[in-house]
Structures are given as C-alpha cells and as structure tokens.
Amino acid sequence: MTRIVLDKLFGAGVAIFGASLLAFLFMRVVPGNPARLIVGPLATPQAITAQEHAMGLNKPLWVQYWRYISGIFSGNWGFAYSTGQTVKHEIVARLPASAELGFYAFVFAFLFAILFALVATYRRRRLVDAAIRGLSFIGLGTPPFWLGLLLLLLLSQIWGILPGPEGRLGPNTPPPPTVTHFYTFDALIAGQWGTFWNAIQHLVLPAITLGLAPFAYLVRLLRANLLDISRENFIVVVRSKGVGRWSAFVRHALPNAFLPTLTAAGLLLAQLLTGTVLVEEVFNWPGIGQFVVESILRQDYAVVQTFVLLSAIAYVVVNLLVDVLYGVIDPRVRLPVAR
Amino acid sequence: MSGATARVVSARESARDLVLEVEELETDFYTQEGVVHAVRRVSLEVERGQRVGIVGESGSGKSALALSIVGLIEPPGRIVGGTVRLNGRDISRYSDRQLQRIRGREVSLIFQDPMTALDPVKTIGDQIVEVIRQHRPMRRAAARREAVRLLQDVEVPYAERRLDNYPHQYSGGMRQRVMIAIALANTPDLIIADEPTTALDVTTQAQVLDLLERLVTERSTAVLLITHNLGIVAEFCNRVFVMYAGRVVERASVERLFAVQAHPYSEALLRCVPRPDQLERGPLPTIPGAPPNLAHLPPGCPFEPRCPVGHGVELCVTTVPPPVLVANSGDPVLAECHFAGERYR
Amino acid sequence: MATAGLARHAGEEIYARVRRDTARTLSHLAHDWSLSLAVALLGLLVLLAVFGPLIWKTATTVNIGNSLAAPSLAHPMGTDSVGRDVFARFNEGARISLSVGAIVVIVGALVGGTVGIVSGATGGWLDTVLMRIMDAILAFPPLILAMAVSVGLGAGLTSATLGITLTSLPYYARLLRSEVLRIRSLPFIEAAHALGARRLRILLRHIVPHVASTLLIQAAALFGYAILTLAALGFVGLGAQDPTPEWGTMITDGLQYFLTGQWWIGVFPGLGLLVVVTATNILADRARDILDPRGQYAYV
C-alpha cells in the first residue's frame, strides 16, 4: 500500500515538474521581449537592459528556472509587471472569486446530476430517460460563454429576474467581513442576510453556465453506472428479502454506482477550481481566469508560470486525494482478503 | 393440466397441507427476437415440510419460474397468467407492497452465484440484519445478536468477529452459507433454492447441502430446489418435477422417477448420468440436439426433435401431448407424452 | 517483402471491419431517431460549409450603410456591425470549425495514437518517459496551454490548431497504451508468440486492426472539444483573427450587441457550435455503443 502511494507521489511530482517546465519554456519561446513591453516603445536600449536585469532575464535559463521553482515554495511568486503588484498578491486577491464560483458550479452539477440520474433510471420510462440523455448531450455541446450570454440576455435583460454582469455583488452592496474569503459563507457567518442573498443572486447564472457541462458529464456517467448496477445479482437478492424497489435502489444501487463516479467528479472539481476563464469574461467576474488570460496576452511571465504551476499542483493533489478516497470508501481496496 | 385431471388431483389435494400451489403460471419475456415464453402454464404443489426438486436444462424456464412465484419478474418480462397460492392465500394478485411483506418472511430465495449475490460495499452483518429488521422490528443490537446466532447455525467460524467482514473477505462456500442464513432468518415456510450449489466445487457442494438438509429438517421448512443435477435430487428431494421448454413434463416421487421414467426426456436425463458401477467403454451418452427456442416453439411436442421415441412420429410433431396419469393412485406419476401410458407398463 | 504483405493484410482487416461495422451502423440508423436527427443536422451544416461560400454572398463585404440589420430574406441571419452578411460568415465559420476540428482530431489521433501504441508495445524506459510527458501535458490546464501555444507562435488559426492538438494528445496516448497492454496479455497473442511470430508481425496483424476502431471512437468524442476550444480561443481573441469569420470570434463581435438588442450577431454562431458539437457527440456515443460498449473513453 505504501509502495503504491509513494509511486503515485513520485508520478505526481514528475507531472508537476513537467508542466512547470513546459510553462517556463513556452513563455521563453514567445517572440518579443517582455522587458521591452514593460518599459514601453520609447525606451532607450539602456532602459531595456536595466529592466531585463531587474527581471533576471539575463541569467542563464536554468538559473531562472531554479529561481522560479524555489520561489514557489518560499512564497516568492514573482512580480506581475503588468499590474505592478506581486504575483502572490494578485492571485490571492482573485483566487477566492474563482474558487467560490467553481465550488457552487460543482455543487449544482453534482446534486442535479444525482437527482436526474435517479429519475432517469428508477422508473425506466423511456421518454424521461431519452429526455435526460438528450439534455446531457446538449449540455456537453453548448459553448459555455455563449450560454452565459444567452442566459444574461433572457434572465437579466429581458425578464429582469437576476442581476447582470456586475461581478460578485451589486454596486450598492459592500462585501462582508472576511473569514473564508467566500462571500456567501462570510455573509452567513456575519449574519448579513441581505448580502448573502445578493451574493447568491449574482452566483446563479455564472454557476449554471459553468456547471452545465460537468452536470451533463456526471449525469451520463452516473446513469450508466446506476443502470449497470441495477442489473446486478445482489439487487435481486436484496429484493428477495422483502425490500422495496426504491429502498433497494437508494440503499444498495446508489452507493455502488457512486464509486466509479467519484473519480470523475474529483477531476471535474479540480478543473472547475482553475478553469473558469470564459465564464469570468462573460460575467465580469473578478477571478483568476480573466487575469491569467490577460497576462498571457501581455506576456507577463511570472503570472502565467505561477498559475500553471499552481494549477498543476492542484490537479495532481486532487487526483491523489480521489485515489486515496476511493481506497478508503471501497472496502475491497481498503481491506485485503484475510485468509 | 387439463380440466378433468386437475379436478382429480385437486380433490386429493384438499386433504393435504399445501405451502405452495402454482396453477397454470405463465410468464413471457418481450425481447428483440420476439416474445419468449419462459414459463408455459406450469402447475405444481409443495406440501408443508416437503422437499420438491425441479430438474431441467438451462433455458427450461426454471429460474424464471422461481422469480415468477415471488413476483420478482421485471420488464421486459411479465407474468401473464395463472395463480400462485402461498399458505392458501392467492398472492398472484398482490401488489408489490404486499409481496414485500411475504418475501424474506414466508418465502425466501437462495440464488445461484454466491460471488455476486451480496452487496460488495456492505458488511455481512448489515446484510443479515437487513432481512431481520425488514420483517421483525427490533433494535440493531438485538438484530446483530440474532445475526451472530444465524451465522453460527450455518457453521461460519468466529461468527461474532466475521459479522463485520465484507463479502470479498469470505470464500464462495462461506458466502453461500450466509445466503442460507439470510434465507432462514425469519423461519420461512418455504425456501426456493435456485441452483444453490452449482457455482461451488464438489466438496463444498456436499457440505452446503448437508447443512441445508439439517437446517430445513430442524425447522420443517419446505424446499423447492431447482437444479440440473440429478444426484442432488436423489439425495435431497421427495418429489421431482421435470421441466422442459417451459413446461413440467413429468411429475413423480423420487423413488418412482429413479426406478422408471414415463417421459422420454426424463429417461434420457437419467441415462446421461455416468454410473461408476456400470463402466462402459465408448463415449458418454448425451441428448442430441439443443433445447428449443422459447420464442419460436414448434406446434407439437417440444421434445420431438430430440426424442428417441417420438421423433418423426406424426402425432408428436403435430399435437401437444396432454398430461397423462400413469401409475396407481398411491404414488401417482403425471407425464406429458403421447406414449407415456404404454411406456410405463 | 514480408512487412509489406503484413501491412496490406492489416489494411484488409481494417477494411473488412469497417465494412461490417458500417452495415450494422446503417441498420441502426434506421431505427434510432436521435442518431438520425444528429446525422441530418450535421449533414446540413456540412452542406452549408461546403456550398455556402460558393453560392451565397461573400463573408467579408463591408457595407456600413446596412450594418446591424435584423434578419430578413436578403440577410437570413442579419448583418453585423460593419454590414457583413452574418449568414455568409456563418457558412464560412462552419467550414473553418469543421476543417479545424477534423485536422485536430486526425493529427491528434495519429500522433497521440502512435505514442500510445509505441509506449504500450515497447515498455521500458521509453514507455515511462513518453507517459510522463503526457502526464505533464495533462496537468497543464488545457485552455491555458492552447493559449500559450497560440501566443507563442503568433495568434492565428494555425497556432490555435496546433495548440489544441497538443492538449488532446494525452487522451489518445493513454487510451491506446492501455488497449495495447490489454490486448498484449490476451491468450491469443501469447499463442501467436509461442508459434514464433515476431513482435512486428504481431503488432501489425493483430493489434492494429482492433485499435483502429478505438482511435475512431475517441477521435469522434474529442471532435466537439476541438471545435469548442477553437471557439474559446477565438472568444478571447487568440484564435482566428478578424476578419476571419470563425464562430468564436463572431460571438466576441456580438458580445457588446447582445444586451443592446442585436442578438443575431452572437446567437447564430453559438447555435452552430451547439448543433455541431452535440451532433458529433451523439454520433461518437452511438459509435461507441456499436463498436466497443465496454471501452473507457474520455469526453472532455
């Protein structure tokens, strides 16, 4: 068991290393000189060279890479020349917004996926099943940014039910005192019901937009797993004990179907926490995604490198956690056969 | 069964204490290849404490029969006719709700493959407790103690400790014992066992059967044992129903059947069993051909294509044989063969 | 030469399988209404993509006087901010999306598939190295990677295509590697080996025909992803550049007009994307049901 864990950790380390290397090299391969971009088109050659020195661009590549990697662990994530703040400051300022959005998108996707999958498989009425399958296909095929715009058009512009692309809160609502950095949780903790409601309203559309594709994916997976499990022998055995159809389904089929879905769900969570770019653009959400895209366009190395490294770490960590979780939940993995 | 014979037999039956009475049960499966008639107007009876064997090849409809009796046929299958009486009550019209009260309590099932019969993510204890608390409200602790007792009854060593094991930590034979424990948990009047030992190796088979025999004798539980293994039938059962192509083609006591067979199929079956005291050279006898496709049944006797007696005989090809009562009334034998009467002399 | 004969044999096998599977597929089509709908819609878009630019107006004719016109008979999808006919741009966009999708998927399948096959068939340090590279690519947020490539090589369709292809490689590689490993351990391969067949022969004769259908299914499943990612890149300004009428770029064009009433500029391209991706996903799904229901395919 420890051998497997160590093996996985090593693999994780290699993946992170590889991703960071890729990011590092890419930014270096880009034509154009970031130092020049920063000092502006009218700068003298000396100014450019000075800037290069300041940014450490004149050092050999491997030195730069080492500073990059060691910097991550020591907290020095570099300087974002496009905004004039440290990378750490920028990321920390923006990360909670993306995380909160990703969190709610995931919760929405997961809960509704369970609900719809249960409905699709329990009664086995062909129309319902076909409708849910169709919905999941459309969900996977809808470009999220387009959907966001459409939803804004319908629900905010035309029907006025929900707020427009104002960001996390309306213009007249100040953010709650910071505890978790999630506006919803913080508002609840501080007892500010108005702020809580406001935050929720602003979260609805972007969370649905972001969560639609994961929902579609999870529904298909869970439905397929539920169907497979409900045909297993032990379900018939449970029924022969006098257990009703619904109880047999929920108590026995669902837990078994969960296991293979868990891995996929975990990966989705990792993706959601870091991949909110497009939705943030549409809804003016002050998150990381927007910032990273702009940094790419502006060739602000440090930001992109750091973000990639952090994402890779997050992805790999979540993968590991899911593996471990699987091992804990599935008794077949947890307890070896004692003979 | 035709009307006349049914009346003759049922007059005798009203004096018997019947746990299970199945009359003209019919189950169809609607598949892509057409309608499969898995159970075709099957009638049978099981007396209290009796041990009845149902013998047949795979595809004879045996398992469908077992599930139909307790109403566990799911789409694309459907019970389309007949009645089932359990302890005198007609349960064939019961709703699933009502049947839930009976399953696991008055009638229990034991299934064929112990490796897939248990929920892999729940402990053995939980699964035994489940059937106990489903029918007898009691606190978890009490139910657990009961479960330990049951495990000890089925001779699982270190029962108390092993209660919290998971199915994958048990061997095949052990798991089948657990299935028996679950089946007996609420002392049912009838156990329907569908090939309970087929998936086990020979030694374990014998152990499990002995165990089952002891337990049902102690409790006077009736058993409907479904199997293709005639040896088990000889040892375990009092009466035998031979099934072919969804119908019961011969019904007799075990003594009668193993002495003389009325239906050619039963005779062929017995001939297939190699006997150590009669070693011959040459290939083992088999029944040539294959069972008929239950979606496309021939107009006459379904066994005709493979029948050493009736193959090619016009009567057998065109007409379905009615049940014929042969042998004296003390130990009656019923067979569905045009030649049953002659063969029995 | 023996290898040529083997290659031909592999080709024949694949051809026979494809024929057999196509016959089955066609019969399934007749019964499956959602599949037929998907094929019909996709076919319509392909027609528009191929013939639209030939027989309809051009996509780049600017006519400021007629800008922001609502859909009408003359302009079935209206005109955009500089008076270009949206329908014409839509057709061109279809052409772009479908061809880029096809390229990404074909190149990705070939390259990624080869990596996977080589990795699985060879084993050893080569396998480890290749798979670690694939893991590194996977750990990289895909959109960011595509963007980085785009920026690195200069924004445009070519660099976008390359970037997207790069991000899709690991899916093919991992899938095919596990397939190869699975097949390698099958008894009939051991039997062939025992009979003295050389590794290359085994590879060509037995393994390749089977993995062809695996590749096909995964490629179909990733087609939609390729198109959506291209549109996403266009949306942030990195993919196709104006005036190239790629659907994602068109949605960005229509961004500011969404909330002011000229919805047609952005809505139609999005609909196009929705239809194409959904249809191909349904097709990929059916292909999987028919050819390899038990397979574990990645849907991104």
- What ipTM was estimated for this complex? 0.86
CB B69 within 8 A of CB B22: yes
Kindly state whether A123 is in contact with chain B, defined as any CB-CB distance less than 8 angstroms: no
CB C12 within 8 A of CB C210: no
Closest alpha carbon within chain C to A290: C236
SS3 C278: helix
Alpha helices in B35-95 (DSSP H): 62-69
CB C147 within 8 A of CB C238: yes
Alpha helices in B187-285 (DSSP H): 202-219, 230-236, 254-259, 264-272
Range C198-213 average pLDDT: 68
Give how far the C-alpha of residue A314 lies from the chain's centroid of Cα atoms, to the nearest Å.
9
Measured between beta carbons, which residues in chain B are less than 8 angstroms from residue A332? 120, 166, 168
Between CA B174 and CA B201 the distance in angstroms is 12
Residue A11, min C-alpha distance to chain C (Å): 8
Kindly state whether A325 is in contact with chain B, defined as any CB-CB distance less than 8 angstroms: no
Between CA A284 and CA A288 the distance in angstroms is 11
User: Do the domain assignments include residue A268?
Assistant: yes
| pLDDT for the residue B8 | 47
* Contact (CB<8Å) A242/B135: yes
* Contact (CB<8Å) B182/A242: no
The mean pLDDT of chain B is 86
Chains contacting B with at least 3 CB pairs below 8 Å? A
Between CA C206 and CA C10 the distance in angstroms is 8
CB C197 within 8 A of CB C278: no
Q: Which of C39, C131, C265, C278 to mutate to test the interface with A (most CBs of A within 10 A)?
A: C278
> Token pair for residue A39?
């000092």
CB B212 within 8 A of CB B181: no
Between CA A37 and CA A35 the distance in angstroms is 5
User: Do the domain assignments include residue A249?
Assistant: yes
* Contact (CB<8Å) C148/A304: yes
- Confidence tier at C21 by pLDDT (50, 70, 90): low
Closest alpha carbon within chain A to C225: A141
CB B110 within 8 A of CB B236: no
pLDDT digits (tens, 9 = 90+) for C233-244: 888 888 877 778
Closest alpha carbon within chain B to A241: B104
User: Do the domain assignments include residue A319?
Assistant: yes
Please state whether beta strands B77-86 and B18-31 pair in parallel, antiparallel, or not at all (unpaired): antiparallel
- Confidence tier at C31 by pLDDT (50, 70, 90): low
Residue A63, min C-alpha distance to chain B (Å): 52
β-bridge partners, C114: none
Going by C-beta distance under 8 Å and a sequence separation of 6 or more, which residues neighbour residue B251? B44, B239, B240, B241, B242, B333, B334, B335
User: Do the domain assignments include residue A37?
Assistant: no
Residue C270, min C-alpha distance to chain A (Å): 6
Beta-carbon contacts below 8 Å between A and C: 147
Of A152, A157, A315, the CB nearest to C139: A315
Residue B67, min C-alpha distance to chain A (Å): 9
Of C141, C149, C270, the CB nearest to A274: C141
- Confidence tier at C131 by pLDDT (50, 70, 90): confident
Chains C+A touching (3+ CB pairs under 8 Å): yes
User: Do the domain assignments include residue A199?
Assistant: yes
User: Do the domain assignments include residue A260?
Assistant: yes
User: Do the domain assignments include residue A78?
Assistant: no
Instruction: Kindly state the DSSP code that residue B88 receives in the 8-state scheme.
Output: T
Q: Taking CA B264 as the corner, what is the angle to CA B263 and CA B265, rounded to the nearest 5 degrees?
A: 90
Going by C-beta distance under 8 Å and a sequence separation of 6 or more, which residues neighbour residue C210? C179, C183
pLDDT digits (tens, 9 = 90+) for B154-188: 999 998 999 999 999 998 889 999 999 999 999 99
pLDDT digits (tens, 9 = 90+) for B79-96: 998 999 999 899 988 899
**Model confidence at B9: pLDDT above 60:** no
Question: Per mean pLDDT, which range of B203-217, B280-294, C83-97 is the poorest?
Answer: B280-294
> Token pair for residue C257?
């007009």
* Contact (CB<8Å) A233/B182: no
Please state whether beta strands B107-110 and B190-194 pair in parallel, antiparallel, or not at all (unpaired): parallel
Measured between beta carbons, which residues in chain A are less than 8 angstroms from residue C259? 152-153, 157, 164
Q: What is the dihedral of CA C67, C70, C72, C74, to 10 degrees?
A: 10
Host domain of residue A159: 88-329
| pLDDT for the residue C27 | 67
| pLDDT for the residue C161 | 92
| pLDDT for the residue B128 | 95
Measured between beta carbons, which residues in chain C are less than 8 angstroms from residue A213? none
pLDDT digits (tens, 9 = 90+) for B228-281: 888 889 889 999 999 988 888 899 889 888 888 888 888 888 888 777 777 677
The full set of domains in chain C, from first to last, is 2-56+84-291 (1.10.3720.10)
* Contact (CB<8Å) A143/C273: yes
| pLDDT for the residue B190 | 94
* Contact (CB<8Å) A252/B119: yes
The mean pLDDT of chain C is 80
* Contact (CB<8Å) A14/C277: no
User: Do the domain assignments include residue A50?
Assistant: no
pTM value is 0.79
Measured between beta carbons, which residues in chain A are less than 8 angstroms from residue C236? 277-278, 281, 293, 297
Of A18, A274, A297, the CB nearest to C132: A18
Q: Which of C144, C169, C300 to mutate to test the interface with A (most CBs of A within 10 A)?
A: C144
Of B119, B169, B171, the CB nearest to A234: B119
Give the per-residue SS3 of A140-161: HHCCHHHHHHHHHHHHHHHCCC
Measured between beta carbons, which residues in chain B are less than 8 angstroms from residue A261? none
CB C181 within 8 A of CB C205: no
Closest alpha carbon within chain B to A232: B116
Q: Which of B110, B113, B119 to mutate to test the interface with A (most CBs of A within 10 A)?
A: B119
The full set of domains in chain B, from first to last, is 3-106+188-343 (3.40.50.300)
pLDDT digits (tens, 9 = 90+) for A204-237: 999 999 999 889 988 988 888 888 888 888 999 9
CA distances from C282 to A212, C180, C222, C286 (A): 17, 26, 12, 6
Q: Which amino acid is at C211?
A: V
Of C140, C251, C266, the CB nearest to A308: C140
User: No. of H helices and E strands in chain A?
Assistant: 16, 2
Of A232, A256, A332, the CB nearest to B168: A332
Range C108-121 average pLDDT: 89
Closest alpha carbon within chain A to C269: A146
Kindly state whether A244 is in contact with chain B, defined as any CB-CB distance less than 8 angstroms: yes
Chains C+B touching (3+ CB pairs under 8 Å): no
Of B118, B121, B134, the CB nearest to A255: B121
| DSSP per-residue codes, A254-283 | HHHHHHHHHHHHHHHHHHHHH--HHHHHHH
**Model confidence at A117: pLDDT above 80:** yes
Q: Which of B121, B131, B170 to mutate to test the interface with A (most CBs of A within 10 A)?
A: B121
Between CA C109 and CA C298 the distance in angstroms is 13
Residue with tokens 């007009």: C257
CB A273 within 8 A of CB A118: no
| pLDDT for the residue A33 | 65
Measured between beta carbons, which residues in chain A are less than 8 angstroms from residue B96? 244-245
Closest alpha carbon within chain A to C271: A142
- Confidence tier at C76 by pLDDT (50, 70, 90): confident
Range C78-87 average pLDDT: 82
Nearest alpha carbon to residue B18 among B38, B43, B42:
B43
Measured between beta carbons, which residues in chain B are less than 8 angstroms from residue A256? 119-121
Q: Taking CA B139 as the corner, what is the angle to CA B135 and CA B143, rounded to the nearest 5 degrees?
A: 65
Measured between beta carbons, which residues in chain C are less than 8 angstroms from residue A293? 147, 236
Nearest alpha carbon to residue C186 among C211, C206, C214:
C206
Helix axes A301-329, A254-274, angle to 10 degrees: 170
- Confidence tier at A35 by pLDDT (50, 70, 90): low
| pLDDT for the residue B4 | 46
Between CA A139 and CA A130 the distance in angstroms is 14
If residue C113 lies in a helix (H) or strand (E), which one and from where to where?
Answer: helix C86-122
> Token pair for residue A126?
């062909």
Domain at A261, CATH number: 1.10.3720.10
Instruction: Kindly state the DSSP code that residue A253 receives in the 8-state scheme.
Output: I
Domain count, chain A: 1
Of B97, B120, B134, the CB nearest to A241: B134
